[in-house]
Amino acid sequence: MSSRSSLSDLSSFRLKEGIRLGVASAATQIEGGDRNNSWYDWYTKGHIRDGSDPSRACDHYARFREDADLMADMGIHDYRMGLEWSRIEPEEGVFSEEALAHYREEIVLLKSRGIRVLLTIQHFTVPMWFEKTGGFLSERAPELFLRFTAKVINTLGDLVNEYITINEPNVYAVNSYFYGIWPPGIKSFRAVIMFYRSMTICHTKAYRLIHKIRRHMGFSDTKVGVANHIRIFEPACRFTLWHLICAGLMDLLFQKSITRSMSLGRRTFPIGRCKGVRPGKYYDFIGINYYTRSTVSGFSDGVKKGAPVNDLGWEIYPEGIVRAGHMLFDKYHAPIYITENGTCDNTDSFRAQYIHDHLKALCESKLPVAAYYHWCFTDNFEWLEGESARFGLVHVDYETQERTVKESGKYYSRLIKEAAGDEA
Ligand code: BGC
């Protein structure tokens, strides 16, 4: 994005009535201190582009109190956070009461600050013992994932009513099992299909399990969904058959088939039958992570010529968030939670504008958007890119761990406070 508007220019729309404006994060990307997960292992094998170590990250595991205070100061009342499975179950079948007590303390603290939690159970990382069993490709994966989920809900279920079972199954599948650039580094289309089946089984069963456990606890307000990564696949030329075919196939294979399989538990091409899954409705909200559009002229990502891009070269395309919303809402009809939306802007020169443009597009649409979680609260460990790709509303100096609210963070904070009728 070329020009930077002043913060006072950035309020040219009305927020949707009742929309919850929050922030998102994921355990491995912020916590630091854990060396028992698949991404730490991947780092030791030299795969992180800038060499940064995920066991440093934002040291949030030790600094969660400071981070909760900062969130509260910014007026944030909604927070999507994740759990580190390898901390909670460091060895197969052995649960750490200490880790569970830690997460309990964190959630209780957030609630005492008026911050409601949307809890993600699985966000790209797994414990090394699980990875060694074959990870989500193993026949045992659903049983192991469900045992972990049951432990989490039995321990934290009284504190949280909204859950994301799995984050972006398609991004995980493609990077880890097709391109082989994420752990465990497998390159096989067959593995992607097996992974999709496993995700469907794990999610649909976890959906039922979470509802069941919380029902037994006496709660009737449980909401469970998936954070679906949705992008817009646009043919580079609408009159070129090859571009149209590639865009259609990528749309189907990357997102439409897995979303249908996990939402409805129905046999879906090319995923096929998923053992033990019965057709049903396996979502209470439509979770969407939206970042960009791909301009397609073959089987790879492309960017529209001359389009504005972020610091990772991803097109900035605000209308896409509405198109992504309709793609799922028109089929699944449930309240929409934008579970992630954000951008890599290392100098914070266009993030406020990005937020404004995406929220404006959403709020001027007819979509029933109940919540919007900006990715991310603080800068964090951005997987392969390490610490050098900054997505945060809050700047983190990784050496000193000092947090500084960015201009975009101030803008977002003002929006939230205005929407809540708090003093900005
Ligand atoms: C993921 C996040 C990631 C973000 C930015 C999403 O795909 O869920 O973990 O940091 O995009 O790349």
Alpha carbon nearest to ligand 1 atom 5, residue: 382
| pLDDT exceeds cutoff 60 at 53 | yes
Confidence at residue 421, expressed as pLDDT on a 0 to 100 scale: 77
Confidence of residue 306 (pLDDT cuts 50, 70, 90): very high
HSE value, Cβ hemisphere, 13 Å, CA-based, for 390: 19
Q: What CATH number has the domain spanning 7-249+282-415? A: 3.20.20.80
Atom of ligand 1 nearest to the CA of 312: 12
Which pLDDT tens digit goes with each residue over 412-423? Answer: 999 999 888 765
Q: Does the CB atom of residue 171 touch ligand 1 within 6 A? A: yes
Nearest to 323 by CA among 313, 311, 310, 336: 336
| pLDDT exceeds cutoff 50 at 370 | yes
Q: Does the CB atom of residue 373 touch ligand 1 within 6 A? A: no
Confidence at residue 420, expressed as pLDDT on a 0 to 100 scale: 81
Q: Does the CB atom of residue 164 touch ligand 1 within 6 A? A: no
Q: According to the 3-state scheme, what is the secondary structure of the chain?
A: CCCCCCHHHCCCCCCCCCCEEEEECCHHHHCCCCCCEHHHHHHHCCCCCCCCCCCCCCCHHHHHHHHHHHHHHCCCCEEEEECCHHHHCCECCECCHHHHHHHHHHHHHHHHCCCEEEEEEECCCCEHHHHHCCHHHCCCHHHHHHHHHHHHHHHHCCCCCEEEEEECHHHHHHHHHHCCCCCCCCCCHHHHHHHHHHHHHHHHHHHHHHHHHHHHCCCCCCEEEEEEECCEEEECCCCCHHHHHHHHHHHHHHHHHHHHHHHHCCCECCCECCCCCCCCCCCCCEEEEECCEEEECCCCCCCCCCCCECCCCCECCCHHHHHHHHHHHHHHCCCEEEEEECCCCCCCCCHHHHHHHHHHHHHCCCCCEEEEEEECCECCCCHHHHHHCCCCCEEEECCCCEEEECHHHHHHHHHHHHHHCCCC
Q: Does the CB atom of residue 379 touch ligand 1 within 6 A? A: no
Which pLDDT tens digit goes with each residue over 99-117? Answer: 999 999 999 999 999 999 9
Confidence at residue 2, expressed as pLDDT on a 0 to 100 scale: 37
Average pLDDT over residues 361-379: 98
| pLDDT exceeds cutoff 50 at 96 | yes
Q: Does the CB atom of residue 86 touch ligand 1 within 6 A? A: no
Q: Does the CB atom of residue 226 touch ligand 1 within 6 A? A: no
Distance of CA 381 from the midpoint of ligand 1 (Å) = 10
| pLDDT exceeds cutoff 90 at 10 | no
Alpha carbon nearest to ligand 1 atom 12, residue: 382
| pLDDT exceeds cutoff 60 at 23 | yes
Distance of CA 352 from the midpoint of ligand 1 (Å) = 19
Rounded Cα distance between 31 and 125, Å, is 13
Whole-model pTM: value is: 0.97
Rounded Cα distance between 165 and 87, Å, is 17
Which pLDDT tens digit goes with each residue over 61-75? Answer: 999 999 999 999 999
Distance of CA 216 from the midpoint of ligand 1 (Å) = 34
Distance of CA 215 from the midpoint of ligand 1 (Å) = 32
Distance of CA 226 from the midpoint of ligand 1 (Å) = 14
Alpha carbon nearest to ligand 1 atom 10, residue: 382
| pLDDT exceeds cutoff 70 at 1 | no
The residues near 118 (Cβ < 8 Å, ≥ 6 apart) are 22, 78, 79, 80, 81, 160, 162, 163, 164, 337, 339, 371, 373
Q: Does the CB atom of residue 387 touch ligand 1 within 6 A? A: no
Q: Does the CB atom of residue 345 touch ligand 1 within 6 A? A: no
Q: Does the CB atom of residue 289 touch ligand 1 within 6 A? A: yes
Does the CA dihedral 404-408-411-416 come out positive or negative? negative
Q: Which of 23, 80, 289, 312 has most ligand 1 atoms within 8 Å of CB, for mutation? A: 289
Q: Where are the domains of the chain?
A: 7-249+282-415
Which pLDDT tens digit goes with each residue over 118-164? Answer: 999 999 999 999 999 999 999 999 999 999 999 999 999 999 999 99
